[in-house]
């Protein structure tokens, strides 16, 4: 396994790499936080069989993704307050599905797992409210219209989805550079989602601000 893959165990860096690779990959993540701040983070990758063939530890072509249980456990080494609860790999139609559930002790621990460098994910608490900011990377050069159309067609079946369930009420969400996102709230949960192609083909990378009552 390459050193590069060992350095990228988390969700947001994975998404940035998906943007760079224009890969046939969908991401579905869901976090649930209890009144004490602990919770779970469920992540599912949907990966085209045409793009990648998974072995026990490697992929072809090499991807900066934690695809095996060994990859994920290795990525968690030295990570405080986050543990792997379950892992599975299966096939669904033309895709390989990699699913995991992580337990975290606090939102700050979860955020550190999402981005250890603190550039793509930031968390803070103020006046009894929690604030989580997710960024999708740097601004990219505009794509040629034909290339953009080809990417949109290639990725039309793949989506990005992130849900967060808070202990008291549904989190509030504001999005910068992302009018293509669809936001829904029900009970204590808020969901933000969009086609993966919209993220990959946009000129300015989105930022998502999530706030909730502790």
Element (H or E) spanning 101, and its range? strand 95-104
**Which has more pLDDT, 149 or 171?**
171
Is the omega angle on the peptide bond into residue 134 within 30 degrees of 0, that is, cis? no
pLDDT at 204: 86
Q: What is the mean pLDDT of residues 34-47?
A: 93
3-state secondary structure of 124: strand
Closest alpha carbon to 80 in 49, 47, 56, 116: 116
Question: How far apart, in whole angstroms, are the C-alpha atoms of residue 11 and residue 44?
Answer: 10
pLDDT computed for residue 175 by the predictor: 96
């Amino acid at each position: 396994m390459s050193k590069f893959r060992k350095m990228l165990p988390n969700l947001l860096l994975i998404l940035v790499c998906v943007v760079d690779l224009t890969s046939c990959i969908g991401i579905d993540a869901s976090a649930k936080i209890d009144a004490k701040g602990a919770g779970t983070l469920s992540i599912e990758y949907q990966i085209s069989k045409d793009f990648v063939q998974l072995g026990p530890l490697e992929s072809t072509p090499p991807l900066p993704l934690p695809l095996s249980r060994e990859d994920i456990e290795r990525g968690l080494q030295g990570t405080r307050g986050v543990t792997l609860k379950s892992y599975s790999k299966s096939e669904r139609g033309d895709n390989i599905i990699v699913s995991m559930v992580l337990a975290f002790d606090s939102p700050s621990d979860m955020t550190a797992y999402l981005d250890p460098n603190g550039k793509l994910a930031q968390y803070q608490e103020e006046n009894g409210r929690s604030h989580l900011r997710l960024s999708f990377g740097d601004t990219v050069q505009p794509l040629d219209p034909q290339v953009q159309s080809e990417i949109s067609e290639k990725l039309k079946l793949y989506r990005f989805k992130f849900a967060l369930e808070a202990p008291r009420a549904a989190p509030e969400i504001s999005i910068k550079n992302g009018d293509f996102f669809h936001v829904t709230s029900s009970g204590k949960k808020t969901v933000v989602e969009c086609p993966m192609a919209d993220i990959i083909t946009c000129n300015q990378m989105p930022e998502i601000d999530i706030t909730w009552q502790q």
